[in-house]
Structure 1
Amino acid sequence: MSSCYSLQKALSQFDLSAAEILLRLQQLTGLIYLNDDDHPVIAFLPQQYQLIQDQHSQHFVRDAAWHYQQQSSPVVLEDWVNCQNNATAPTATQFHGGWMGFVGYDYAARQDVAAPLHAQPALYLGQYLSFLKYEKTQGWVFYSLEDIQTAEHIFQKIHALLDVDAPKTAFQLTQTCQARWSKAEYIQAFDRIIDYIRAGDCYQINLTQQFIGQAQGLLLETAEQFWQLTNAPYAGYLKIGDFELLSCSPELFIDFQAQQQIVTRPIKGTMPRYPDPEQDQQSKQRLIQSEKDQAENLMIVDLLRNDLSVYAEIGSVKTNKLFEIESFEQVHHMVSEIQANLKSDIQPIQMLLKASPGGSITGAPKIRAMQIIAELEQQPRGAYCGSLGYFNQDGTGRWNILIRSVQKYQQEISMWAGGGITIASQAEAEYQECFDKISAMLNLLNTWQG
């Protein structure tokens, strides 16, 4: 690791999972975890953070007494998250001090359309200078970029919290989490999309439905089981006041790499997995040969190529991979990969905000797709289909697409699932795809029924 850290100490005596550490640190402001494609990092006590909720932007700064004071005026995100764009070493992206947080779908969509807005936080970004990383040769290691005295105080606080068992919050559902729509309501929305496609309004719409329930206690209590169930490369967790976000996402949105390179890996095309190897291979083969899924994937590849070209150097946008199949715990997915070189005068945060929400969870053309989504879904998606991730101070960073995610705000708990609708889609198959994607997570969540 870099020698610029004011403090770097191994915590190898604490042989704990990420979920166990999070539970022990649950009292800390701005607690966040990113699996980051198997480079786990846990951050806490941001030096300052920006929160957007109820269309109000608030900026908080940590004082010497470990409290957070709201500033008289919020900062402009593009000015505050001012990366240096100076990473040159062609190493894999990892967090080493900078900004972490999430951009919700509602916030991102409302840049262009009149999308509904949830009462919960719509965007959060914190500047994190102290954090834990899991190093394969050392276990958990504490790093800090704070001044040495502050770094020592934070380390002692973390060490003390890790040294005692986590307080229990007895998480339980008080109302089963179940689909808000009936099958008939889903098909009605599906048919309306087909009408729009035939009228020439759009080519594809990502139609999703909400699964909603009521719960008490800390959602974090379920994290270990969800992450073991899904084994998702872009899993994560964030707690802000009475809002919790638990990600089990398999999808990368944007990887901001060294030397101004950016990579996006949209998922479009899904088939279920089966315990029987022969049946599972047949399901995978159906996806490989599916002309409908290839057409759907290609539409989103074209959309994202266009999104990237706005911020990329001319001629640098390339499709590296097309229609590759990746197998996850519950489903097979069709994945493509596009790369480009970011213009030198474009800040990474500027591109992230303007390119959000991702094309794989909106449709084509993008703005009309978001208008139709707002009309048909009628419920705000909240963080779902937004993005969770980080930026380093050198401009590198990695952000996911928040699919396969659970949100809890106050007593309401929700999950969402959906898929891309094209002219070749069949209502019954698309309805079933929602459950193929979410049924294992939904069944697990409902085991906490009180």
Structure 2
Amino acid sequence: MSTKPIFKEFFANSDLNAPIILQAFSDLYGCIYLNDNNHPCIGFLPDHYVLFKNKKWQYFQKNGFNQYKETNDNASLSHTFPIHPDEVQSTQTGFEGGYMGFIDYNFAASQFISSPGLNQPQVYLGCYHSYLKKEQSAWFFYSHNDAITAQQDLLYLKQKLEQYLKDPAQQLDRFSLNQKCAAKWSKAQYQHAFQRIQDYIIAGDCYQINLTQAFTAEATGSLIHTAEQFWQLTQAPYSGYLKLDEFELLSCSPELFIEFSTQQKLITKPIKGTMPRDADPVQDQINKQQLINSTKDQAENLMIVDLLRNDLSVYAEIGSVKTPQLFAIESFNQVHHMVSEIHATLKADVNPLNLLLSALPGGSITGAPKIRAMQIIEELEAAPRGAYCGSMGYFNFNGTGSWNILIRSIQKYQNQLSIWAGGGITIASDCDAEYQECLDKVSAMLELINTWQRETL
């Protein structure tokens, strides 16, 4: 099959945003949205997909419209989702048909340590031959399928959208919280974990640990009803959404993990170092300058840069790993972040999916040295992270693609919802400041999610 889409047609105008389309397609299995640094795309009805849940791999093949049958395929992921690097796609940016999904933190960590996961999907990867893409303020339908199949799919999607627009309430249960989303840890529990990390650092076990905590609630209805408000709030370049039956993942991530570019080029942009934004422009600039001048944050950032350089070097051409940018400041709606950038060239015989799996979890959300950091995280954190700190993204059929780090993200399975936040702890860290940094990162999201709290009599 050619990697170039063979069918393209105008789908909808700019008045229809991604959350509306996703709500209309809520019953289509594997519906997934990626902002992809302002190159939005929506995948639906994968040709086949793989799911890892409850310590078991499951493979499914499409055998009818929105119907899937489990198969006995036990092939490796790289065989099930082949890459064809010699195929040349169009010059457009972003998704052009291929593989979309997510990999959660505990699955990735379990490659190196014992890291039991949550009772929810831990890996999902689907092969998408048809998708929507926003270009010049309008949505277009693309397909690699034959023209007759593509036309049938397009007609069905337009009918689904028209039906939804006539009666939006018919599609999904409205989202609501049964109680306020609040921290699972008390501050005293956070302080205890912080001190244990200091003890490990003094003992020589580690240099840095990314300590995170969960904010949880019980909820009903679908997270997609909150997406528009969250994405407007955060303006996150690597936001996304995925629904798999009772599991939903809503990402407001600002962090790129790895971008796979043409000619085997790799880019990773770890975030380490945070200061809150301020409504007063003068104070906001003071906060930004304080981050620029912070030797503590620079040291923390450099540790992760070194870790990621090492992770990439395993599969990169010798001498290709470079660091063209250190300690740049990127400003988002709620926080300023310190961001560095690393480039490398992937070896020609390496499947990009294998690199992605081996490099996860990302160093910016584990610590250094990486394996010992993950062991300490497993010991100290109160619960499995699940999708949080995993990765969500895509590969085109030719191996180009983009994957984020799932920070600032909400996961919901059945009626259990969680939002997480954390930060890197070093010997120079102050407990109160690190605790406040957690709140700075997540406070705006908590305030928004709690507007959906159900009124009680």
Q: TM-score range by the shorter chain?
A: over 0.9
SS at 2:181's partner residue? Answer: strand
Native 8 Å contact 1:172 1:448 kept in 2: yes
Which range moved further: 370-379 or 65-74?
A: 65-74
Q: Where does structure 1 differ by over 3 angstroms across 4 or more consecutive aligned residues?
A: 87-93
Q: Please state if 1:292 is matched with 2:291.
A: no
- Structure 2 partner of 1:23: 23
- Structure 2 partner of 1:107: 107
TM-score, length basis structure 2: 0.96
Q: 1: CA distance between counterparts of 2:372 and 2:149?
A: 49
Where do 1:108-187 residues align within 5 Å?
108-136=108-136, 139-164=138-163, 165=165, 166=168, 167-187=171-191
Q: 1: CA distance between counterparts of 2:116 and 2:202?
A: 26
Instruction: Output one character per residue of 1:308-349: Cα deviation in whole Å (capped at 9) or x when no partner.
Output: 000100000000100000000000000000000000111000
Q: Please state if 1:317 is matched with 2:321.
A: yes
Which range moved further: 18-27 or 401-410?
A: 18-27
SS at 1:305's partner residue? Answer: helix
* Residue identity opposite 2:58 in structure 1: Q
Deviation at residue 13 of structure 1 after TM alignment: 4.7
Q: Please state if 1:82 is matched with 2:78.
A: no
SS at 1:63's partner residue? Answer: strand
Native 8 Å contact 2:241 2:248 kept in 1: yes
Native 8 Å contact 1:42 1:131 kept in 2: yes
SS at 1:353's partner residue? Answer: helix
Deviation at residue 115 of structure 1 after TM alignment: 1.2
Q: Which of 416, 430, 433 is the equivalent residue of 2:434?
A: 430
- Structure 1 partner of 2:424: 420
Deviation at residue 6 of structure 1 after TM alignment: 3.1
Q: 2: CA distance between counterparts of 1:253 and 1:13?
A: 31
Q: 2: CA distance between counterparts of 1:265 and 1:225?
A: 26
Native 8 Å contact 1:209 1:377 kept in 2: yes
Q: 2: CA distance between counterparts of 1:245 and 1:65?
A: 24
Deviation at residue 65 of structure 1 after TM alignment: 4.6
Native 8 Å contact 1:384 1:416 kept in 2: yes
* Residue identity opposite 2:186 in structure 1: S
Q: Please state if 1:448 is matched with 2:452.
A: yes
Q: 1: CA distance between counterparts of 2:361 and 2:57?
A: 19
Q: 2: CA distance between counterparts of 1:86 and 1:334?
A: 36
* Residue identity opposite 1:441 in structure 2: M
Q: Which of 209, 212, 219 is the equivalent residue of 2:213?
A: 209
Where do 1:12-411 residues align within 5 Å?
12-13=12-13, 15-86=15-86, 93-136=93-136, 139-164=138-163, 165=165, 166=168, 167-411=171-415
SS at 1:117's partner residue? Answer: coil
Instruction: Output one character per residue of 1:179-209: Cα deviation in whole Å (capped at 9) or x when no partner.
Output: 0000000000000000000100000000000
* Residue identity opposite 1:341 in structure 2: T
Instruction: Output one character per residue of 1:1-52: Cα deviation in whole Å (capped at 9) or x when no partner.
Output: x994332110245730111111111111100000000000001000000000
Which runs of no fewer than 5 residues in structure 1 stay unpaired?
none
Which range moved further: 158-167 or 32-41?
A: 158-167
Q: 1: CA distance between counterparts of 2:425 and 2:44?
A: 40
* Residue identity opposite 1:411 in structure 2: N
Instruction: Output one character per residue of 1:212-269: Cα deviation in whole Å (capped at 9) or x when no partner.
Output: 1000001110000000000000000000010000000000000000000000000000
* Residue identity opposite 1:332 in structure 2: H
Which range moved further: 72-81 or 356-365?
A: 72-81
Native 8 Å contact 1:6 1:151 kept in 2: no
* Residue identity opposite 2:29 in structure 1: T
Supply the RMSD in Å over aligned alpha carbons.
1.5
TM-score, length basis structure 1: 0.97
Q: 2: CA distance between counterparts of 1:92 and 1:314?
A: 30
Q: 2: CA distance between counterparts of 1:87 and 1:435?
A: 46
Deviation at residue 72 of structure 1 after TM alignment: 2.1
* Residue identity opposite 2:115 in structure 1: A
- The aligned length equals 448
Q: 2: CA distance between counterparts of 1:37 and 1:389?
A: 11
Deviation at residue 146 of structure 1 after TM alignment: 1.3
Q: 2: CA distance between counterparts of 1:87 and 1:287?
A: 44
Instruction: Output one character per residue of 1:276-298: Cα deviation in whole Å (capped at 9) or x when no partner.
Output: 00000000000000000000000
SS at 2:355's partner residue? Answer: helix
* Residue identity opposite 1:348 in structure 2: P
Distance 1:52 1:3, change over 3 A: closer
Deviation at residue 64 of structure 1 after TM alignment: 3.1
Q: 2: CA distance between counterparts of 1:89 and 1:65?
A: 27
Deviation at residue 87 of structure 1 after TM alignment: 6.1
Which range moved further: 14-23 or 217-226?
A: 14-23
SS at 1:176's partner residue? Answer: coil
Native 8 Å contact 1:88 1:259 kept in 2: no
Q: 1: CA distance between counterparts of 2:440 and 2:200?
A: 26
* Residue identity opposite 1:70 in structure 2: E
Q: 1: CA distance between counterparts of 2:7 and 2:272?
A: 43
Distance 1:162 1:65, change over 3 A: closer
Native 8 Å contact 1:93 1:396 kept in 2: no
Which range moved further: 120-129 or 69-78?
A: 69-78
Q: 2: CA distance between counterparts of 1:236 and 1:203?
A: 32
Q: 1: CA distance between counterparts of 2:77 and 2:8?
A: 29
Q: 1: CA distance between counterparts of 2:148 and 2:76?
A: 30
Which runs of no fewer than 5 residues in structure 2 stay unpaired?
none
SS at 1:335's partner residue? Answer: strand
Native 8 Å contact 1:86 1:395 kept in 2: no
Native 8 Å contact 1:264 1:339 kept in 2: yes
Q: 1: CA distance between counterparts of 2:8 and 2:88?
A: 24
SS at 1:383's partner residue? Answer: coil
